[in-house]
Amino acid sequence: MNCKKIKKLIQLYIDQEIDSEKTQVLKEHLKTCASCQREVNTLVSLKKLISSQEKITTSQDFIAKVIEKIRKQEILKMNLEGAAKRLIPLPLALGLVTFIYLGSLQIRKENFLEEYLLSALDEREVSLFIDREIYEELF
């Protein structure tokens, strides 16, 4: 059997989850393959190291506390998303009002300038100016 197939069996062997026939095939391969032997030795050492570590204990209400924190975060997230959805129209409305206001200022400025220029002209010049405007509109 090649190393690729054996490597799939090694973890099962370490966890004692393979049948005796596959165990025999694995052991035969390990007699001739140093690479697979190193992998088995490393995994066995790692399993012993992990098993020797002290077990971590938690309080009885640990899971309840974790679930409660998750719920609080979800509620906070929903509140922030809701606030964002409610606040988005505000800047949009302010921008629209500003745009309309600035546009009206521009119109007033143009009207003011036209009135100022017309006031500086005498009656004859005004009538020529108005006649010219009418003429340009018609043709």
Mean pLDDT of all residues in 121-127:
62
Whether pLDDT at 70 is above 70 = yes
Average confidence score pLDDT of the chain: 79
Closest CA to 14 of 38, 41, 54: 41
How far is residue 70's CA from residue 13's CA, in Å, rounded to a whole number?
39
**pLDDT tens digits, 31-46:** 999 999 999 999 999 9
| Domain residue extents for the chain | 3-52, 89-139
| One-letter amino acid for residue 95 of the chain | G
**pLDDT tens digits, 47-56:** 888 888 887 7
How far is residue 25's CA from residue 21's CA, in Å, rounded to a whole number?
6
How far is residue 104's CA from residue 106's CA, in Å, rounded to a whole number?
5
Closest CA to 42 of 4, 7, 5: 7
The residue assigned the tokens 């129209």 is 89
How far is residue 107's CA from residue 11's CA, in Å, rounded to a whole number?
82
How far is residue 13's CA from residue 69's CA, in Å, rounded to a whole number?
40
With residue 40 as reference, give the H or E element that holds it: helix 34-52
Task: Report if pTM > 0.75.
Answer: no
Task: Tell me what percent of the residues of the chain surpass a pLDDT of 90.
Answer: 19
Q: Is 55 in a helix, a strand, or coil?
A: coil
| One-letter amino acid for residue 126 of the chain | V
